Amino acid sequence: MNYIPKSVEKWGVFEISCSGRTDGNPFTDYNIRGHFTNGAESVETDGFYDGDGIYKVRFMPSFEGEYQFSVTGTFSEEPIRGSFMVTPPSPDNHGPVRSANQFHFSYEDGSPYYPLGTTCYVWELQNDERIAETLDMLKESGFNKLRFCLFPKHYNYNLGEPRSYPYEGTPMNSSVLTEENWSDYTENAPGNHWDFTRFHPAHFQHIERCIAALGEIGVEADLIVMHPYDRWGFSCMTPEQDELYWKYVVARFAAYRNVWWSLANEYDLLRHKSLADWERYAKILCQKDPYHHLRSIHNCGPHYDHTRPWITHCSIQRQDLYKTAELTDEWRIRYQKPVVLDEIAYEGNLPFGWGNITGEEMIRRFWEAAMRGGYPGHGETYLTPERILWWSHGGKLKGESWKRIAFLSRILYQTPGIGLAPAKGNWDDVCAVPEDALRAAQTGYRIYYYSFMRPCFREFYFDDTAKYQVEVIDTWNMTIENQGVFQGKFQINLPGRQFMAIRLQKAAMEAS
């Protein structure tokens, strides 16, 4: 039984399902490849075994109109050929996110995309009720990117069994674990029995449903393919096992337009992996992902060399207890790529310094990064009696910072052109202007952010003739107050509170 859809929308998932051989180990003994073309675009892509005798090949078309396809491989005796129609994208489908204007992003259809993400490491491995809660919460919030892991996670406050495992086999008995002893059971702890040549398709099918569900609410899925918080041995497989895993992951997920590849969370904590391993994974990704989704790798201590050509954007964890978002402009200069801050401490009350800042401090870091032309990331780690932490499980947000994300997002989307750039302001403010120098000059658009400082007024002088529309922004209370139009030297009063900003842009010209 083969299943071949008649049509798919542009940037949708076109999926061919076919029956195939089940003797031996279908995950390793047979292959399946698809070829898709409309004349202009021609894609060769690996398929995968999905269990129960079903093989699948997926394709994400980038053009509308008729495509031809063929599916070949040792999985079956005869190839499958045919054609299908690609229809226009539905209104909320803007295609995959690409890096744009050097330091920024946009959707493939050219509409702007300003990533303001959050982290729920294993939200998708919780029960259905919690997953639904997380999706509802994401919808209510302003987040448009979510970082999460494909492998289950073993870490403080997250010792339970995941809903499923990626491999056939049985895990160690987790009933021995306590919040005191869990760190004695790391990497391949005794008691695991896995067949690393046989995936558990249900695990991946579920993750695909989660990726699709995120896509439906406009959230990019920043997939953490490897990570060190392990008790099952998934962080210390052999190179052959790793390769099988990477290829399976890419074959399954690459056709989802909202996928980003994060090679690792805290790559430097995976002590069995070397730089050569990461470069090898990157090579697999570059070869096997026909759509060139965004690729990054996230650090704990030292940064990865983000100048590596396969890296599309920096994914950076804080480097200093006190300063991180404030270094965004330095990292832009160093790496010459978009700077995404995928961990600048989390709002919460954990005993650890990475998880106990205030909502105010979180939002301050967001603005510090955003006004320097970078993209800050959120997380929340409130330890309550229920022990459901957003950062790990998803669920409900309890803090104060998430409520202010949509407000910042709205302001970012008002930027003329694509993206903000840090500009020379005064020594005691952060000045942002449009990245596009021509647009910056034409519009005079600029935002001054005052962080924890509390000026009761600020003075401005650009020239004698230009008229500026001025707004006072309260980034915490989420208000924008129009101050009117000013010219020459002028003073703007402020309320003497923290977290204020002033936005200026040239007033609309009168008709000549």
Indicate the residue among 282 and 357 with the shorter CB distance to its own copies.
Answer: 357
Rank residues 90 and 477 by Cβ distance to its own copies and give the closer one: 477
Total of residues contacting its own copies (CB under 8 A): 31
Residue 502 CB: number of other CB atoms within 10 A?
21
Stretch that binds its own copies, among 43-51, 89-97, 166-174, 448-456 (CB under 8 A): 448-456
Rounded Cα distance between 37 and 55, Å, is: 20
| C-beta closer to its own copies: residue 64 or 429 | 429
Residue from 159, 284, 383, 480 touching its own copies (CB under 8 A): that is: 383
Report the run of H or E that residue 378 belongs to, with start and end: strand 375-378
Rule CB under 8 A: choose which of 81, 323, 387, 410 binds its own copies.
323
* Cβ–Cβ < 8 Å for 429, 491: no
Residue closer to its own copies (CB basis): 164 or 356: 356
* CB closer to its own copies, 79 vs 496: 496
Tally of CB atoms within 10 A around 488: 13
Q: Name the minimum Å distance from CB 321 to its own copies.
A: 6
Q: Which two tokens stand for residue 243?
A: 């390769």
Quote the least distance from Cβ 326 to its own copies, whole Å.
6
With respect to its own copies, which residue has the nearer C-beta, 36 or 346?
Answer: 346
The label of the residue with tokens 């330091």 reads 103
Sheet with 479-487: strands ordered across: 420-423, 430-434, 446-449, 500-506, 467-474, 479-487
Secondary structure string (H, E, C) spanning 98-148: EEECCCEEEECCCCECCCCEEECCCHHHCCHHHHHHHHHHHHHCCCCEEEE
Site string for its own copies, 395-434 (x = CB under 8 A): -------------------------------xxxx-----
* The one among 349, 442, 443, 469 contacting its own copies by CB under 8 A: 349
Residue closer to its own copies, measured from CB, 12 or 228: 228
Contact between 273 and its own copies per CB under 8 A = no
Q: Which residues are CB-neighbours of 431 under 8 A, at least 6 positions away?
A: 371, 422, 423, 424, 425, 446, 447, 448, 449
Q: Could you say which of 38, 101, 186, 356 contacts its own copies (CB under 8 A)?
A: 356
- Region from 232-240, 243-251, 257-265, 353-361 binding its own copies, contact rule CB under 8 A: 353-361
Those residues whose C-beta lies under 8 Å from the C-beta of residue 136, and which sit 6 or more positions away, are: none
Nearer to its own copies, 278 or 346 (CB): 346
- Closer of 1 and 322 to its own copies (Cβ): 322
Quote the CA–CA distance of 501 and 264 in Å, as a whole number.
35
Q: How far is CA 266 from CA 121, 213, 314, in A?
A: 13, 26, 13
| Beta-sheet pairing, 375-378 with 117-119 | parallel
Interaction between residue 387 and its own copies (CB under 8 A): no
Q: C-beta of 128: minimal distance to its own copies in Å?
A: 30
Q: Considering only residues 29, 498, 506, 507, which one is a binding residue for its own copies as defined by CB under 8 A?
A: 498
> Rounded to whole angstroms, what are the CA distances from 497 to 12, 81, 476, 481?
47, 67, 10, 15
Query: DSSP letters along 267-317, please?
Result: GGG-TT--HHHHHHHHHHHHHH-TT---EE-B-SSSPP-TTSTT--SEE--
Q: Which helix (H) or strand (E) holds 85?
A: strand 80-87
**Cα 263 versus chain centre, distance:** 12
Q: Which is nearer to its own copies, 31 or 319 (CB)?
A: 319
What one-character DSSP code corresponds to residue 484? E
Binding mask 51-70 for its own copies (x = CB under 8 A): --------------------
Is 384 or 465 the residue whose CB approaches its own copies more closely? Answer: 384
Closer by beta carbon to its own copies, 72 or else 349: 349
In the shown chain, the binding pattern of residues 213 to 242 toward its own copies, with x for contact by CB under 8 A and - for none, equals: ------------------------------
Among 168, 361, 400, 474, contact with its own copies (rule: CB under 8 A): 361
CB contact burial 227-236 (16+ within 10 A = b; e otherwise): bbbbbbbbbb
Q: Does the protein bind its own copies through residue 326 (CB under 8 A)? A: yes
Shortest Å, Cβ 361 to its own copies: 6
The CB-of-264 to its own copies minimum distance in angstroms stands at 21
By CB under 8 A, the residues from 451 to 480 that bind its own copies are 451-459
Interacting residues toward its own copies by CB under 8 A:
321-323, 326, 348-354, 356-358, 361, 383, 426-429, 451-459, 496, 498
